[in-house]
Each structure stands twice: as C-alpha cells, then as structure tokens.
C-alpha cells in the first residue's frame, strides 16, 4: 500500500510566523487530505487536495501529484493553530482506504 511520510515531526513557532509542512507519498493518489487534530483530540478536515492548489483563509495547500508530495502552508500562525497536522492518502481502487502519516506536532507560542 501507499506509504506516507510527513516532515518535520515537530515544529515550534512564535505567533505570527509562517510555516510549511510537507507530505511525501510513495505512489500515485486519487485521494489526499490534510487534517488538524486539536489538543482535545478532534480531527478536522482542512483540505481534500489530490492535485492542484487550494486556499482557505490563512491556510493553503498544494499537491504536485507527478512528484508525489503535498505542502500545507500556515501563514500568520495563531496559538489556536497548535495541534497535530496529518496528511492522508489513498490510490488505485482503494479510494476510501486512507493511509495516514505520523503527523507534524505544531506548537505556537504567544
């Protein structure tokens, strides 16, 4: 199955800083999603982005499917952005069988 690797594993920022999180995947995908898990454990979908670029407020994401990576950009970070960011991918006929990366733990200090 697909392997998903995320980097960096940990990231510490001061409020207002920008950051880029990376997700590499081992095979072609037809389903790629980014999630944020808040400190209370709730997983929130940020983007469904198997290819192309999307933006939502201070967050944006780009997936370059031919090079098998996706990037999540966080601008002007806030303390509420803290938590774990997961990338998850699926390919072939297993559209619904997302494989999750190990996550990037983001801490934003005031």
The helix, strand and coil proportions of the chain, stated in percent and rounded to the nearest 5, come to: 5, 55, 40
- Residue 54 as a binder of another protein (CB under 8 A): the answer is no
Report DSSP letters for 36-85, one per residue: EE-TT--EEEEEE-SSEEEEETTEEEEEEGGGTEEEEEE-S--GGG-EEE
- Determine which residue in the list 28, 79, 102, 107 makes contact with another protein, applying CB under 8 A: 102
Nearest residue (CB) to another protein, 31 versus 70: 31
With CB under 8 A, what is the number of residues at the site for another protein? Answer: 22
- Residue 103 as a binder of another protein (CB under 8 A): the answer is yes
What residue ranges bind another protein (CB under 8 A)?
30-31, 33, 35, 41-45, 47-48, 86, 88, 94-100, 102-103
């Amino acid at each position: 199955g697909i392997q998903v690797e995320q980097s960096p594993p940990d990231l510490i920022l001061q409020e207002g800083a920008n950051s880029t999180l990376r997700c590499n995947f081992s095979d072609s995908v037809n389903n790629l999603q980014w999630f944020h898990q808040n400190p209370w454990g709730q997983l929130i979908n940020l983007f469904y982005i198997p290819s192309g670029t999307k933006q939502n407020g201070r967050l944006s994401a780009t997936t370059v499917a031919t090079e098998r990576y996706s990037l999540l950009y966080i601008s002007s970070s806030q303390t509420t952005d803290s938590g774990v960011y997961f990338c998850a991918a699926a390919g072939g006929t297993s559209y619904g069988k997302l494989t999750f990366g190990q996550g990037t733990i983001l801490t934003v200090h005031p």
